[in-house]
């Protein structure tokens, strides 16, 4: 399976409409890929909190329209990163959109873990409550994607749940700050190793709202090997994934079978 990660640069001087058009064009250029992945909140910027209310949109809003058309034109599976969703009751969510090669919206995922420690996203956004997987098929490239977003990467139990639901490829769009880039790389590799799955982690580049972004989107295989890593600027990574490697790794080193869940927590002394 050929996967392309588009590391979008979020420039505060570029309008959201302009970035949508530019990103849609980049998606169309990936015709021939099987899966294309975009970063978290790339239309507005993950730290541009003051713009969330103004740029919030319904799931079927302008980003949906642009990305659905781009996915259909390129005939690719598209994880379109995430948007600031405003639901019918006016609540905000950090919501990912996944499109089929026909341009149909097949899944949404509302980010479960909100970053900010009672500030920013943690106070402005509502939390998602459902784990989401996506069966991906086409020309013998059947697999299951498990969806997570940015700060979710720090919570291994979420990924265990995705693996138990059948995930073989874990997709993590992010707007990760440069000052914690070492954690980004470390956690992406850890989630791959402990779950014996591919991790496709796509981050934003640039600086917005005064926060320098990490870039360094990364693809990690089920044994923890880094197959590709971007630099700090806008860039596209294209990687061929051997989907059979997931099952081979799990058979050759069957650590997942040795999990012991439900043990009682020992009393503190």
Closest CA relative to residue 168, chosen from 199, 125, 194? 199
Alpha-helical segments (H) within 109-180? 121-124, 156-164
Q: Per the residue annotation, which of 111, 121, 202, 234 is the catalytic one?
A: 111
From residue 242, alpha-carbon distances to 3, 27, 53, 166 in Å are 11, 22, 41, 17
Task: Mark 132-164 as b/e (b = at least 16 C-beta within 10 Å).
Answer: bbbebeeeeeebbbbbbbbbbbeeeebbbebbe
Q: Which of 55, 85, 121, 150 is catalytic?
A: 150
Catalytic residue among 40, 57, 121, 234: 40
| Sign of the dihedral through C-alpha 38, 93, 47, 178 | negative
Q: Is 202 a catalytic residue?
A: no
Concerning whether 194 is annotated as a catalytic residue, the answer is: no
Classify 269 as helix, strand or coil.
Answer: coil
Identify whether 85 is a catalytic site residue: no
Q: Looking at the annotation, which residues are catalytic? A: 40, 111, 150
């Amino acid at each position: 399976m050929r996967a392309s990660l588009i590391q979008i640069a979020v420039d505060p001087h570029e309008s959201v409409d302009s970035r949508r058009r530019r990103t849609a064009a980049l998606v169309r250029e990936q015709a021939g890929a099987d899966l294309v992945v975009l970063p978290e909140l790339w239309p507005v910027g993950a730290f541009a909190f003051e713009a969330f209310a103004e740029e919030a949109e319904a799931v079927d809003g302008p980003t949906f329209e642009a990305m659905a058309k781009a996915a259909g034109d390129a005939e690719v599976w598209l994880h379109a990163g995430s948007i600031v969703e405003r639901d019918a009751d006016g609540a905000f969510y950090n919501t990912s959109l996944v499109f089929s090669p026909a341009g149909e919206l097949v899944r949404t995922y509302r980010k479960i873990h909100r970053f900010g420690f009672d500030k920013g996203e943690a106070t402005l956004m509502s939390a998602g409550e459902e784990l989401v997987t996506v069966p991906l098929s086409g020309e013998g490239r059947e697999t299951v994607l498990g969806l997570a977003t940015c700060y979710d990467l720090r919570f291994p139990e979420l990924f265990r749940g995705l693996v138990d639901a059948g995930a073989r490829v874990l997709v993590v769009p992010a707007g990760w700050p440069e000052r914690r880039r070492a954690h980004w790389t470390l956690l992406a590799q850890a989630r791959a190793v402990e779950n014996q799955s591919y991790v496709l982690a796509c981050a934003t580049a640039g600086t917005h709202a005064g926060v320098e972004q990490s870039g360094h989107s990364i693809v990690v295989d089920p044994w923890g090997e880094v197959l590709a890593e971007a630099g700090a600027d806008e860039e596209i990574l294209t990687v061929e994934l051997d989907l059979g490697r997931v099952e081979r790794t799990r058979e050759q080193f069957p650590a997942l079978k040795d999990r012991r869940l439900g043990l009682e927590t020992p009393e503190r002394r």
